[in-house]
């Protein structure tokens, strides 16, 4: 059975490219497309796709994050994968917070997108193709080390392997874990590194 996908991007050329790309893979079936936050929510509600593949920078409701929040309530069985031009950790963390199952930077290329979609279709909780470089660029070694005390021993192992630019799948093999479990650990690492030390969070309140 094909994994059904709704495409959501403000650029018609981007949607056309994705439609053509996915049409060549028998595992995927595009069931519709949308150009705004509102039409994405309406389309997903009506079509109930397995995956909504969406850009963050849409219109009307503000951005794709707001649409994702609504989709989590309206269509909880639909997975959300962000396919975006944003290559910053802040956007990645927001995507994780709204329950995204995947995050792919457009510049990563079609092969990374397809790998992520396959991972999400298999039920991985968070497919983070290309996440390692984002983490490394956002946190220098000194910052990461200063916040490392918040990480569990297993999360420390995952961070060390991310720093070696290993993929989730490779990390899973190295640690003898399921890829989905590694995805959850990566998400926790990002949350904790982004939040900062407990004392700093208390002072910011």
Q: Enumerate domains of the chain plus CATH numbers.
A: 3-129 (3.40.50.2300), 132-204 (1.10.10.10)
- The lowest-confidence range among 22-26, 173-177, 182-186 is 182-186
**In this predicted structure, what is the pLDDT of residue 159?**
80
pLDDT in tens, 36-57: 988 999 999 999 999 999 999 8
In terms of Cβ atoms closer than 10 Å to its own Cβ (0-12, 13-18, 19+), residue 140 is exposed
Does position 124 have pLDDT exceeding 80, yes or no?
no
Tokens 């984002």 appear where?
134
CA distance 188 to 130: 16
List the structure tokens of 163.
């720093």
Instruction: For residues 4-30, give the mean pLDDT.
Output: 95
Paired strand residues for 5: 30, 51
Instruction: For residues 114-138, give the mean pLDDT.
Output: 67
DSSP 8-state secondary structure symbol assigned to residue 68 = H
pLDDT above 90 covers what percent of the chain? 34
Does position 202 have pLDDT exceeding 60, yes or no?
no
> Which of 9, 17, 195, 2 shows the shortest CA–CA distance to 117?
2
| Cβ atoms within 10 Å, residue 171 | 23
CA distance 38 to 126: 25
CA distance 36 to 124: 27
Kindly report the pTM of this predicted structure. Answer: 0.72
Instruction: For residues 87-115, give the mean pLDDT.
Output: 83
How far, in whole angstroms, is CA 26 from its chain's centroid?
23
């Amino acid at each position: 059975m094909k994994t059904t996908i709704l495409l959501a991007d403000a650029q018609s050329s981007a949607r056309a490219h994705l439609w053509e790309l996915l049409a060549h893979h028998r595992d995927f079936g595009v069931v519709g497309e949308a150009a705004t936050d509102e039409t994405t929510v309406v389309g997903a509600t009506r079509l109930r796709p397995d995956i909504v593949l969406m850009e963050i920078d849409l219109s009307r409701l503000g951005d794709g994050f707001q649409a994702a929040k609504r989709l989590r309530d309206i269509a909880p069985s639909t997975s959300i994968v962000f396919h975006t031009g944003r290559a910053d950790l802040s956007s990645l963390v927001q995507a994780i917070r709204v329950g995204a199952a995947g995050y792919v930077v457009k510049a990563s290329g079609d092969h990374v997108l397809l790998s992520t979609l396959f991972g999400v279709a298999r039920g991985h909780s968070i497919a983070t193709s290309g996440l390692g470089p984002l983490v490394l660029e956002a946190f220098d070694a000194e910052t990461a080390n200063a916040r490392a005390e918040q990480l569990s021993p297993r999360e420390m192992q995952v961070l060390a392997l991310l720093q070696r630019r290993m993929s989730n799948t490779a990390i899973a093999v190295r640690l003898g874990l399921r890829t989905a479990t590694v995805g959850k650990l990566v998400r926790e690492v990002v949350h904790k590194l982004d939040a900062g030390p407990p004392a700093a969070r208390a002072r910011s309140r």
